[in-house]
Structure 1
Amino acid sequence: MILVDQKEFYIRNLRYFIRSAKEDDAKYLSNVRLQIDGETENMDRDKGEAYIDESGFKQIIKDDTESVNKLFLVAEVNERIVGFSRCEGNKLKRTSHKVEFGVCVLKGYWGYGIGQNLLKESIHWADLNEIKKINLNVLETNDKAIRLYKKYGFEVEGILKKDKVLSDGNYYNTVLMGRFKKD
């Protein structure tokens, strides 16, 4: 299994690093995830739902680090985690060629390419590890994310109609996207 070495980025006067998560990150990840869930409705959860505490994140990081088809990346600014992404595969033979990608970044750090660079590093890792397909779900109103995913070779594979109800009381579709590695 190949971990991702730390990489430095400097965009619009912001210096940040992307690297594989370590168990020491668990205490920060719990709070970051909670904050992100409260900042946007692009995520699946409302703030506090499906809460993962420090020990839960430690276990996820440990499992992801030991698996050939899982990747947990963090983005760091001034030694503070401001976002993260995961690629999660499974052990089933028939679906072992694919992973599910998810990403989140604190709202104060949007516009610095953090989500894009987490995606690029995840794609690179997947290609190196013979992962053939990356799947993801995105809210239909998240045009910026949909454009980004298409830029990196993702295609719309389906729509889950009226899949989420947001704070305005309306139902929204979820767009299913996938990227298949061409040999």
Structure 2
Amino acid sequence: MIINQQVFQVNDLSYTIRSANVNDAEALSELRVRIDGETENMDREKGEAFIDTAGFRQIINKDAESPRNLFLVAALDHAIVGYSRCEGVDLSRFAHKAEFGVCVLKDFWGHAIGRNLLQQSLVWADDNDITKLTLNVLETNEKAIKLYESFGFEIEGLLKNDRRHSDGKYYNTVIMGRFKGLLN
């Protein structure tokens, strides 16, 4: 689905949140690899599960056509610095929900980019009969968990020893969900 773009001004930084388009595909392919290498909060290590430009074009086209999907980018001076994606299911028993994911370049943390991508996704979900959004977050990412809770997400479960990081230790994944009507 496509949404109208919005401009945000946070901490002397102006950026736009808009729907992804096929012209973003190459930048998104490069950005995803870079972000995966900046933090262990992501599911992948740098370069894993690589999606090339053509792959991103397919995802963007699919999401633009599907009323159950939303692919947003945060752009600063025409450079993409973050993105989020909601992916729904066409099966009737699950058509009420979508899964949310977000990532932002570390250099741009602290400018509410993730918060605004989430907010725009929630508006889209509420306007399109998506009554449940789900997400997974690393248990040590307390800042993200607090952000999600402030938007009405609740902890629904825990995947124990779900991930192994570069330090050799295992970490839990927190499963969270937000139901329409429970937004703070």
- TMscore range, shorter length: over 0.9
**Who is 1:176 aligned against?**
175
Consecutive unaligned residues of structure 2, counting only runs of 5 or more, are none
Aligned mates of 1:27, 1:45 — CA distance in 2: 19
Match of 2:48 in 1: 49
TM-score w.r.t. length of structure 1: 0.98
Deviation of the 1:90 alpha carbon: 1.4
Q: 1:4 Cα shift? A: 1.5
Secondary structure in structure 2 of the residue aligned to 1:103: strand
Q: Measure how far apart 1:71 and its partner are.
A: 0.1
Aligned to 1:143: 142
Q: Percent identity?
A: 60
The 4+ residue runs of structure 1 with deviation greater than 4 A are none
Residue type of the partner of 1:144?
Answer: K
**Counterpart-to-counterpart distance in 2, 1:57 and 1:110:** 24
The CA distance in 2 between the partners of 1:143 and 1:182, in whole Å, is 24
Amino acid at match of 2:110: G
CA distance in 2, matches of 1:66, 1:31: 24
Post-superposition offset of 1:91 = 1.0
Match of 1:106 in 2: 105
Aligned to 2:114: 115
Superimposed CA distance per residue, residues 89-122 of structure 1 (whole angstroms, 9 cap, x where no aligned partner) = 0111110100000000000000000000000000
1:154 aligns with 2:153: yes
Give 1:182 deviation, angstroms: 2.4
Alignment RMSD, CA only? Answer: 0.9
Cross-structure match for 1:70: 69
Taking the aligned partners of 2:34 and 2:53, their CA distance within structure 1 comes to 15
- Count of residue pairs brought into register by the alignment: 182
Normalising by the residue count of structure 2, what TM-score does the alignment of the two structures yield?
0.97
Which deviations, in whole Å up to 9, do the C-alpha atoms of 1:125-171 show, x marking residues without a partner? 00000101000000000000000000000000000000000111000
Aligned counterpart, 1:14: 13
- Hey, what's the Cα distance between the residues in 2 that align with 1:62 and 1:76? 19
Secondary structure at the counterpart of residue 39 of structure 1 = coil
Partner of 1:167: 166
Once the 2 structures are TM-superposed, how far is the Cα of residue 84 of structure 1 from its aligned partner?
0.2
